[in-house]
Amino acid sequence: MYFVYILKSEKNGKLYKGLTTNLERRIKEHQSGKSEFTSNNGPWKLVYYEAFLSKIDAREEEKFLKSGKGRERIKFLLSDLLKKI
């Protein structure tokens, strides 16, 4: 199983989109500073994830979420949630 996920920085509100096979482990890595990109902006809160059977499909979804249209979809899907966090 592959997971595409979105984290929100509780420090500055930035979003991080990623892909993993072990969501729980990967979030712990982000929280502990083991991920270089997210190490300076934590703590992080998981705000969204999707599960995929195919690595190819998961990779395509991750790439889409990082695109302009993907950012629009994130704003639409998580608009209420992102305002509250």
Residue spans per domain, the chain = 2-84
Give 4-60 pLDDT, tens digit per residue. 999 999 888 889 999 999 999 999 999 888 887 788 888 999 999 999 999 999 999
Q: Which amino acid is at 9?
A: S
Band of pLDDT at residue 82, cut at 50, 70 and 90: low
Residue 35 corresponds to which tokens in the numbers above? 């991920």
Whose tokens are 């990082």? That residue is 66
pLDDT at site 57 = 97
Classify residue 13 by its DSSP letter. Answer: -
Cβ(85)–Cβ(10) below 8 Å: yes
pLDDT at site 79 = 82
> 2-84 sits in which CATH class?
alpha beta
pLDDT at site 62 = 97
Residue 33 corresponds to which tokens in the numbers above? 């500073």
Q: Which amino acid is at 55?
A: K
